[in-house]
Amino acid sequence: MDLISKIKLDFKEAELYRSQGLLDEAIDKYTAIEALIKANSNIRQRKSLLAKIASRIDELNKKMKRISAPTPPPKVSEDAQTLMKEMFTYDDPEAKGSSSLGGAIALAKFGQYDKAIEELTRLLEYESLRVEAAKNLLSCWIQQNYVEYAVSLFQKWKKTRFFPPEELAIVLGHFQEVLAAAGVTREIAGVELQKTIEPDSEINDEDILDISATKFSLPGGPRKGERVEFEVSFQSGKYIQIIIPKKEKDLINGLNPGNMLKDIIFYSPAAIFSGTGFLSSKKAIEAGPKRGDYSFSIKIIDIKS
Amino acid sequence: MAVINLKNRQIECKLVYYGPGRSGKTANLEYINKNFSKQVAGKMISIDTEGDRTLFFDFLPIGLGKIRGCDVRVQLYTVPGQVKYRATRELVLRGADGIIFVADSLAVRREKNMMSLKDLHENLKKMGLDIRRIPLSLQYNKRDLENTGLPIMSIEKMEKELNRQLKVQSFPTSALTGEGVGKTLTHTIKLILAHLQKEFKWADGS
Ligand SMILES: Nc1nc2c(ncn2[C@@H]2O[C@H](COP(=O)(O)OP(=O)(O)OP(=O)(O)O)[C@@H](O)[C@H]2O)c(=O)[nH]1
Ligand SMILES: [Mg+2]
């Protein structure tokens, strides 16, 4: 192919990329043509060609800049908002009302904050949804940079005892996480959790074997009374830790600090023994691959056999 | 996730167009919207940014009438292909009953096709789905540019690079002329219905 035909074809290619919005590819191609022309001094209309290419590249660069500039998500039509909500109506059909929560969260994810806030505020009224609704509500405000408002909202909940202390602690944990992620350092007056007084353990740390798993009846929640076995993820003397994945909501809701586990069984590589355990803490994991899962620590109070 | 109402004999399922940015996903929906007016069951909703890039998704509901005694409706969605919208893609993909992967035949987009397919694979896995199990078809789009002297990949090459392991049905298409657009759609819906039949036995006489 002679030089002129090659340049013509290259031009056609660059123009195609440009018209299809393939900006990087178009810039690359124009730049290559530019180099080719510059290397050949005997091309007719060389100057005007180079000028045209330069203006194309300039225009493309400007467009790239515009497109990559961070812009707040646009507010979309009511139709589209309804659709966003309905896209998630199949979420967890078991739990009543959770579809509307899924819808509200979807609205927030799509940046439709006003509508999401409206929905989430409504969902605060439902006992089973209010923690998730509150968490997402705070996120919505923070994402729009209304830090002070979010803080005042949280403080209102705290002051009016809108949530039981356990739930408030979960909301607070999430709130702190969201603030940290947004790079905001702001003191939120901490929440005093009603301290549970731990019963004393009869045993010495040295006397406790390594425990690899444990089994006990769930003290509360929808599956109350069911015997469930858990792997022990960590042990420090008479405290063992178990982790429950976030999707196991029934288990998580059924276990709360202060619970006495009267029929607990401990499995160690050498022996199995039964005894009493005390659920001393419950925490949502805030970072890492297990983020959102819950860790519980159980204090071994006594061992019977 | 399909909604199957055996009492009213209705099926509603979700079909998602996936693929790299600018490959022609929105163009597919636009073509269907314009040319299959008998099937179109509602307004097409597009949420895009400057330069027509999809920002959240496009949506087009279609109705296929009665198939083996059931009223079948399909919701078509496109994902935003740009790499940076990964989270949105994941959101839109949720609950998909089937997928049409729109690959770009332009040689310069070769790697983007492969990356997007990998992204699909990972997103499905996150949802506990297997790319080899879900109803899926491939489109090699922009075939109208073949024989224009521009760098277009051959079907053989695309087949080898994208479909060697998947071995799903693939279609050469042009979302501009409409070539193959209807065929891909019909084939994929058939796959979805067959898949749902196995699971839910919705059809008459079964
Ligand atoms: N020649 C040709 N151009 C096409 C074809 N399909 C799409 N295009 C063009 O390619 C460009 C991108 O098409 P879209 O349908 O917006 O691409 P998309 O996959 O939705 O892109 P994103 O929304 O960014 O993910 C547009 O300029 C279309 O006109 C095709 O089959 N042939
Ligand atoms: Mg699009």
Which residues fall within 8 angstroms of residue A273, CB to CB, at 6 or more apart? A265, A266, A303, A304, A305
The answer to whether position A198 is within a domain reads no
Q: Nearest CA of chain B to the CA of A283: how many Å?
A: 25
Residue A249 belongs to what domain range? Answer: 205-303
A216 shares a domain with A155? no
Phi, psi for B164 (deg, rounded to 5): -60, -40
- Domain final residue pick, A68, A86, A114: A68
Task: Answer for the pair A116, A138: CB distance below 8 angstroms, yes or no.
Answer: no
Mean per-residue pLDDT over chain A, rounded:
84
Ligand 1: which of B79, B86, B141, B176 to mutate, judged by most atoms within 8 Å of the beta carbon?
B176
Cβ–Cβ pairs < 8 A, chains A and B: 62
Q: Nearest CA of chain A to the CA of B160: how many Å?
A: 24
- Cβ distance A80 to B94 less than 8 Å, yes or no, reads no
Phi, psi for A113 (deg, rounded to 5): -65, -40
Domain count of the fold of chain A: 3
From residue B194, alpha-carbon distances to A223, B132, B201, B203 in Å are 37, 15, 9, 10
Point out the residue among A12, A63, A73 whose CB comes nearest to the CB of B51.
A63
Residue B165 belongs to what domain range? Answer: 3-204
| pLDDT tens digits for range A67-109 | 877 777 777 888 888 888 777 654 444 444 556 788 888 888 8
Three-class DSSP labels, A232-301: CCEEECCEEEEEECCCCHHHHHHCCCCCEEEEEEEECCCCEEEEEEEEEEEEECCCCCCCCCEEEEEEEE
Structure token pair of residue A273? 């023994």
The answer to whether position A245 is within a domain reads yes
Residue A60: CATH number of its domain: 1.20.58
pLDDT in the model for residue A144: 80
The answer to whether position A171 is within a domain reads yes
- B-chain CB neighbours of A90 within 8 Å are 1, 3, 95
From residue B160, alpha-carbon distances to A151, B100, B102, B166 in Å are 56, 18, 16, 10
A40 shares a domain with A99? no
Closest residue by CA, ligand 1 atom 10: A20
The answer to whether position A10 is within a domain reads yes
* Distance (Å, whole) CA B159 – CA A122: 51
Three-class DSSP labels, A148-202: HHHHHHHHHHHHCCCCCHHHHHHHHHHHHHHHHHCCCCCCCCCCCCCCCCCCCCC
A173 shares a domain with A106? yes
Domain count of the fold of chain B: 1
* Distance (Å, whole) CA A171 – CA A160: 15
Least confident piece of the model among A16-30, A189-203, A287-301, B1-15: A189-203
The answer to whether position A73 is within a domain reads no
Q: Among B5, B12, B15, B22, which would you mutate to test the A interface (most chain A Cβ atoms within 10 Å of its Cβ)? A: B22
Closest-CA residue of chain B to A12 = B150
Res. A38: pLDDT tops 70: yes
pLDDT in the model for residue A213: 93
What burial letters (b/e) apply to A238-256, b meaning 16+ CB within 10 Å? bbbbbebeeeebbbbebbb
B51 has a chain A CB within 8 A of its CB = yes
The answer to whether position A190 is within a domain reads no
Nearest ligand for residue B81 CA: 1
Residue A277, beta-bridge partner list: A261, A300
B83 has a chain A CB within 8 A of its CB = no
* Distance (Å, whole) CA B58 – CA B48: 8
Lining residues, ligand 1, CB within 6 Å:
A 20-21; B 19, 21-27, 52-54, 78, 80-82, 141-142, 144-145, 174-176
d(CA B192, ligand 1 centre) in Å: 25
A98 shares a domain with A58? no
The answer to whether position A42 is within a domain reads yes
Closest residue by CA, ligand 1 atom 27: A20
Q: Is A302 helix (H, G, I), strand (E, B) or coil?
A: strand
Task: Answer for the pair B150, A16: CB distance below 8 angstroms, yes or no.
Answer: yes
The answer to whether position A62 is within a domain reads yes
d(CA B200, ligand 2 centre) in Å: 33
Point out the residue among A21, A80, A90 whose CB comes nearest to the CB of B52.
A21
Q: Nearest CA of chain A to the CA of B120: how many Å?
A: 19
Res. A305: pLDDT tops 70: no
Does A262 or A298 have the greater pLDDT score?
A298
Instruction: Give percent of chain A with pLDDT exceeding 70.
Output: 92
| pLDDT tens digits for range A126-177 | 888 899 999 999 999 888 878 877 888 898 898 888 999 889 999 998 998 8
Confidence class for position A51, pLDDT limits 50, 70, 90: very high
A177 shares a domain with A86? yes
Signed CA dihedral, B145, B146, B150, B151: sign only: positive
Nearest to B98 by CA among B45, B138, B39: B138
ipTM: 0.90
Residue B99, beta-bridge partner list: B16, B136
Point out the residue among A9, A25, A74 whose CB comes nearest to the CB of B108.
A25
Res. B201: pLDDT tops 80: no
* Distance (Å, whole) CA A143 – CA A191: 23
Atom from ligand 1 closest to the CA of residue B54: 23
pLDDT in the model for residue A99: 63
Task: Answer for the pair A116, A88: CB distance below 8 angstroms, yes or no.
Answer: no
pLDDT in the model for residue A191: 42
* Distance (Å, whole) CA B184 – CA B17: 11
- pTM for the model: 0.71
pLDDT in the model for residue A95: 44
Task: Answer for the pair B59, B25: CB distance below 8 angstroms, yes or no.
Answer: no
Does B206 or A112 have the greater pLDDT score?
A112
Tell me which amino acid residue B157 is: K
Closest residue by CA, ligand 1 atom 32: B142
pLDDT in the model for residue A219: 87
* Distance (Å, whole) CA A233 – CA B147: 63
Q: Nearest CA of chain A to the CA of B176: how many Å?
A: 12
- B-chain CB neighbours of A80 within 8 Å are 45, 47, 56, 59
B145 has a chain A CB within 8 A of its CB = yes
Least confident piece of the model among A161-175, A209-223, A252-266: A252-266
pLDDT in the model for residue A189: 60
A175 shares a domain with A133? yes
Closest-CA residue of chain B to A109 = B88
Residue B73: CATH number of its domain: 3.40.50.300
Ligand 1: which of B26, B83, B117 to mutate, judged by most atoms within 8 Å of the beta carbon?
B26
3-state helix, strand, coil split of chain B in percent (to 5) is 35, 30, 35
Site of tokens 């079907």: B155
Q: How many CB atoms neighbour CB A233 within 10 A?
A: 12
Tell me which amino acid residue A185 is: T
Q: What size, in residues, is chain A?
A: 305
Nearest ligand for residue B141 CA: 1
- B-chain CB neighbours of A25 within 8 Å are 106, 108-109
